[in-house]
Chains A and B, each alone.
Chain A
């Protein structure tokens, strides 16, 4: 299955990662790699998440992540390596 990376800017607060991984877990999508790093704005963090799935899954994940109130942006990165 195709590997895909989603890049997110999220609120730097407690429980956010849990909410985000929950979106992956409920559809049984494994996370192959994950990074979280601080951002110039200390209230935000930047995440990259690598998972696998076809176009439908990719689009669904992005749209579901965007619904979270502590996700500022979520975009599909073309580059599938971190």
Chain B
């Protein structure tokens, strides 16, 4: 039996376990959309309002499920609208398969209507991409795309399919295999790492997104306990231990906890697990190594010795490496160091606040969530406060744009995350600026009946930029005061959602505990424009430069 390329796409999606796709139709994907129409019982297609947000939705879906998210867009503007979403997934190592249509093969390279060379455009922001030249390759390419997206260090893969290939017919015995090269992981040699850990007096674990991706929370906790080492996290790794765990120091880096900054400066061994020492997490990488040794474990060989030089490099799956370390290492107690950890953690205690502030807002909303509630954020001060104050309990409950820092990520991510969680109540913490970049997706959330709780930190400003202008640019508030007159509650209603303006904590509590309708709810929370995210280590600084107070 011969199938069309479009039908091969559907078969490949189903074979690779895809039951939900996000997307937006157009001329160059009409054959695929026709097959989606016929296969609606097998694949649920979520129509978003903009392809960028469809990509973020697929990204959010992948972060919650651990399986590749899938997004479909048409050629030209549909494809270019995906670019930010693909870059976002790339920088956060999220498995994503993006399928774009393109003009028919004979029209390629002629600047045809809605033709762009999307494989060239995305080359620097994908793990791999394919431009399908022949329908016989299509099935093998799609299988390879899903395999690549998920294997090793996950990431996005784009498959560009000309419309003629979608229409061409081909039978299974004509399918060709893709020839791709990838080196197998070496057997990790842990002798030197074990020796350093045994010799260390003050070991500190720096854990990242790799530990979340590997689902290695249990192994991480076991190692921390076995060797008496506190754990600090990059933003991407934050959820790997429950917030209230005694050895958990919270997030490190520019807006990390004081305890993490202090213990980092005091430790004599840093055990880096699935991290990449990004400038936001590591700060000054020149002074970084002073007084300490570094063991760097990562599945991606190119990450090791990239930003900081490791004394011991271990390439491998972090979960497997942790299992081996647990077998090889004895139980080591370091009562003094653990005591120091407990003491340092007291520095992170935040006093109660009775007014509506970022802190009291987050604590109040947290009280209404369960350990499984999926939390999405946008980018800015509200994002950092969420990292600092929200007591995350489990992996795959935090959807935040780490590497790219994409304002507008939140709405798409919350939609994808909510669907992935089985349409459970999902919370988005957003800013008035960020929400303005993707609020049209309220339409999607309404048509999909998603119970999103959208909490806007409405400070009237691009707060994070304003904070930098306050600290480093003599309060020259160049284009960061929004001066908008948007009524977010009315806006929500116009989209068919619920909305409320919140000016006090009591009001917030009432809104949260009122019976939840099965429609998205927007809470427009009024906050002071001059709140700061603190502590802060200025760019290129170290613990000595830590700022803990405003002014």
Contact = CB atoms under 8 A, between A and B. Distances in A.
Interface of A: 11, 14-15, 18-19, 22, 26, 43, 56, 59-60, 63-64, 66-72
Nearest to B300: A67
Nearest to B126: A19
Contacts of A68: 128
B124 interface: yes
Contact of A60 (B119, B123, B302): B302
Given A59-B305, A70-B181, 7 more contacts: A11-B180, A11-B181, A15-B123, A22-B123, A56-B309, A67-B301, A70-B180
B124 A69 contact: no
Interface residues of B, number: 20
B448 interface: no
B120 A63 contact: no
B181 A71 contact: yes
A8 to B, nearest CB: 11
A16 B179 CA distance: 13
B131 interface: yes
B514 interface: no
Interface string B287-325: 000000000000011101110010000000000000000
A66 B119 contact: no
B180 A63 contact: no
B1 interface: no
B306 A43 contact: no
B183 interface: yes
A15 B109 CA distance: 14
Nearest to B124: A22
Contacts of B300: 67
B182 interface: yes
Q: Which of A43, A63, A71 has the most CB of B within 10 A?
A: A63
B428 interface: no
A64 B302 contact: yes
B86 interface: no
Nearest to A55: B305
7 contacts: A19-B123, A22-B124, A56-B305, A60-B305, A66-B183, A66-B302, A68-B128
Interface string B403-428: 00000000000000000000000000
Interface in B143-171: 148
Given A11-B179, A69-B180, A70-B180, A63 B302 contact: yes
A17 to B, nearest CB: 11
B346 to A, nearest CB: 40
Contacts of A72: 181
B306 A60 contact: yes
A66 B301 CA distance: 9
Interface in B179-218: 179-183
A58 to B, nearest CB: 11
Top 9 A-B residue pairs of the complex, sorted by shortest distance between their CB atoms: A63-B302, A69-B180, A72-B181, A69-B128, A64-B302, A63-B301, A22-B123, A22-B124, A67-B302
Contacts of A64: 302
Contacts of A63: 301-302, 304
Contacts of A66: 183, 301-302
B541 to A, nearest CB: 23
Given A15-B120, A26-B124, A69 B181 contact: yes
A43 to B, nearest CB: 7
Nearest to B181: A72
A60 B309 CA distance: 12
Contacts of B179: 11, 43
B148 A69 contact: yes
Contacts of B131: 14-15
Q: Which of A66, A69, A72 has the most CB of B within 10 A?
A: A69
Nearest to A61: B302
Nearest to A66: B183
Nearest to A63: B302
A70 B301 CA distance: 17
Contacts of B182: 69
B289 to A, nearest CB: 14
A76 to B, nearest CB: 14
A61 B119 CA distance: 22
B124 A18 contact: no
Contacts of B120: 15, 18
B535 to A, nearest CB: 31
Contacts of B119: 15
Contacts of B124: 22, 26
A11 B119 CA distance: 17
A69 to B, nearest CB: 4
Contacts of B181: 11, 69-72
A23 to B, nearest CB: 9
A11 B144 CA distance: 16
Contacts of A26: 124
A18 B302 contact: no
A14 B181 CA distance: 16
B404 to A, nearest CB: 15
A18 B121 CA distance: 11
